[in-house]
């Protein structure tokens, strides 16, 4: 296996752990990161993942409509998960209403999602190293928020810190397993194009519908600046890599 892929897998592990640690100690700075991550996730979808999916589909005569349907279906799927299973977004006032069980349910959903993030990196590397690096960059930032959300879900449901740390560790290991899985399994060009489209839809959802609303309670110009920096960074990376 490519040493670079192994290194990236380890960085995703550390990113998730750092996200959880920041949540435990420095929650007041998270909105700035959410805004930055929102911009970067949306940008990587439109500047890199979706164009690559369309390029592959064109080379194998796969109808573009199938790619677009996959993007929309992925967006809807993650919206459905959030609204009915609380895998991501969680409001301050919901902890008491749903009781203790929602901590492990939500955190467990994030563990599964982190595994899929790892699959996204491994899949992108099957296209080429450049897109693999771009997707890895976006996932590493996103895994930071996954770690933060995992801890938040557990603590808001009145679980002890040790349980929150256990789920945080599981969430950190999950993308590493996802990278290894995708790197060891050969994927056809048709499936590859659709998987990239699916992750584009996921990233658009996470950036626009999941992370961005978290910034609305804070000073608009600061949040917009952070979001713009995220977009600009991905624009630059996709232009030079």
Alpha helices in 45-160 (DSSP H): 50-59, 64-85, 95-98, 102-127, 129-156
Neighbours of 119 (CB within 10 A): 23
pTM of the predicted model, to two decimals?
0.67
> What pLDDT is stored for residue 224 in this prediction?
92
Alpha carbon of 105 to those of 25, 81, 157, 171: distances in Å? 24, 12, 11, 13
Dihedral of CA atoms 102, 200, 13, 182 in degrees, nearest 10, equals 110
Q: Which residues, given as ranges, of the chain have pLDDT below 50? A: 86-100
> What pLDDT is stored for residue 65 in this prediction?
96
> 234 near 133, Cβ under 8 Å?
no
> What pLDDT is stored for residue 157 in this prediction?
65
For the chain, the straight-line distance linking the first and the last C-alpha, in angstroms and rounded, comes to 21
> What pLDDT is stored for residue 49 in this prediction?
83
Query: Based on the structure, what is the number of domains in the chain?
Result: 1
> Within 13 Å, how many C-alpha atoms sit on residue 206's CB side?
29
Phi-psi region of 211 (alpha: psi -120 to 50; beta: other; left: phi over 0): alpha
- The tokens for 115 are 């595994």
Q: How far apart are CA 196 and CA 83, in angstroms?
A: 24
> What pLDDT is stored for residue 240 in this prediction?
67
Domain that holds residue 121: 3-240
- Reduced to 3 states, what is the DSSP secondary structure of residue 186? coil
Instruction: Give the residue from 241, 231, 228, 233 showing the smallest Cα distance to 46.
Output: 231
Q: With pLDDT > 70 as the criterion, what percentage of the chain qualifies?
A: 86
* Helical pair 50-59 and 64-85, crossing angle rounded to 10 deg: 140
Alpha carbon of 143 to those of 122, 161, 197: distances in Å? 15, 20, 20
């Amino acid at each position: 296996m490519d040493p670079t892929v192994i290194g990236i897998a380890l960085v995703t592990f550390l990113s998730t752990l750092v996200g959880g640690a920041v949540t435990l100690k420095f929650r007041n700075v998270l909105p700035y990161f959410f805004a930055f991550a929102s911009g970067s996730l949306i940008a990587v979808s439109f500047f890199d993942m979706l164009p690559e999916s369309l390029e592959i589909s064109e080379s194998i005569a796969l109808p573009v409509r199938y790619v677009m349907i996959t993007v929309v279906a992925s967006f809807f799927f993650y919206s459905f998960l959030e609204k009915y299973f609380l895998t991501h977004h969680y409001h301050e006032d919901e902890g008491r209403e749903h009781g203790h069980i929602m901590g492990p349910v939500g955190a467990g959903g994030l563990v599964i999602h982190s595994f899929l993030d790892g699959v996204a990196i491994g899949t992108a590397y099957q296209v080429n190293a450049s897109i693999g690096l771009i997707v890895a960059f976006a996932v590493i930032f996103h895994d930071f928020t996954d770690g933060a959300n995992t801890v938040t879900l557990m603590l808001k449901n009145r679980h002890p810190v040790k349980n929150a740390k256990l789920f945080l560790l599981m969430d950190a290991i999950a993308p590493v397993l996802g990278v290894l899985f995708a790197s060891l399994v050969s994927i056809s060009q048709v499936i590859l194009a659709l998987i990239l489209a699916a992750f584009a839809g996921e990233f658009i959802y996470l950036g626009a519908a999941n992370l961005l609303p978290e910034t609305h309670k804070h000073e608009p110009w600061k949040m917009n600046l952070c979001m713009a920096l995220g977009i600009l960074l991905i624009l630059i990376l996709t232009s030079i890599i």
